[in-house]
Amino acid sequence: MSDGTTPHRKKRIFSGMQPSGEAHLGNYLGALKRWVDMQDEYDCIWCIVDDHAITSGTDPRELPGNVFDLAVSFLAVGLDPERAIIFVQSDVHEHTELAWLFNAVTPVGDLERMTQYKDKASRVESVPAGILNYPILQAADILVYKADAVPVGEDQRQHLELARDVARKFNAAYGDTFPEPAALIGDAGRIRGLDGDAKMSKSIGNTVGILAELDEVWARVRTAVTDPQRVRRTDPGRPEVCNVFSLHKFFSDEETVEDVATQCRAATRGCVECKKILAENIAAAFAPFRERAAHYRAHPEEVKRILDEGAEKARAIASATMAEVRRKMGLRWRDALG
């Protein structure tokens, strides 16, 4: 019998990832691992953002395969279509429609101040408008589902702040419509690439795929930068500044982490041995992912069904939002004619 109270609604969260093929170590540590853990606590929407990918000049012949490979990665790590909505951005046209409408309330100056825009604009002679408007589409991605929060890394905090500003400006102009989504900042910190410098990136080649076998994991990890002051094996190391040691904290048990640190400081174990332990532990941790990925690769129709069903669920939410937005912006001219 009901006690007359309103059932507690889970907070809705949205996040997306660009399709560049199989997910890599940085994607997993920086986002996917956390997304998996969030699926019971939140109402989750996970998106493969292919409309964003085209702003980077992605080869159209490669894009469909990249989308499929990322979808397989999503499912392999444990994103669950029974507990979350998983879909491809371009299958829900409301994202791009809302992005266009948000142009009406977003000052160009706000876009030009974006750090990522300034960085990308400095590297090309002619800047595509999509690079400037990228954060508007991000805002639409989030707000079309009226998401309460977004799991992001520090590098995306500025874009989320712009999404909050867009929601605020739209509400002021057209009436209360969108929540101002909160940032859910993870505790993984900045995941440095195996080069010890830049953020992990497949294009830079300073990471390893999450579906890689041990041989490939080792081939990548063996190149990883360690403590620059430890030139010889007999030199004592400083685990607190060693990038390889920082990765051990994610993939090795507490006893191994402590042992690696102790022997590093005492120079009783070399960096190569330390890397071999890390490579073996990474490969072991990813073994279940490889097994699940093999299943989905052998059954592509199952992946397609999951993405289609996810898009249908996403579209139902997004279309209701857009009906409200069109009405408030005066884009329902038929209604005016009676």
* Interior/surface letters 158-185, b for 16+ CB within 10 angstroms, e for the rest: ebbebbbbbbebbbeebeebbbebebbe
Angle, alpha carbons 223-225-231 (nearest 5°): 105
Q: Given 11, 33, 169, 202, which residue is catalytic?
A: 202
Contact 271, 230 (CB under 8 A): yes
For this structure, is 304 an active site residue?
no
For this structure, is 120 an active site residue?
yes
For this structure, is 10 an active site residue?
no
CA distances from 71 to 79, 166, 239, 336 (A): 10, 30, 36, 43
Q: Given 199, 276, 313, 328, which residue is catalytic?
A: 199
- Cα–Cα distance, 217 to 198 (Å, whole number): 19
Sign of CA dihedral 112, 114, 120, 123: positive
Sign of CA dihedral 189, 190, 191, 197: negative
- Cα–Cα distance, 327 to 8 (Å, whole number): 29
Q: Given 11, 33, 120, 328, which residue is catalytic?
A: 120
Percent helix / strand / coil, the chain, rounded to 5: 55, 10, 35
- Cα–Cα distance, 41 to 299 (Å, whole number): 30
Q: At 44, is the secondary structure helix, strand, or coil?
A: strand
Residue 73, classified by CB atoms within 10 Å of its CB into exposed (0-12), middle (13-18) or buried (19+), is buried
Q: Looking at the annotation, which residues are catalytic?
A: 120, 199, 202
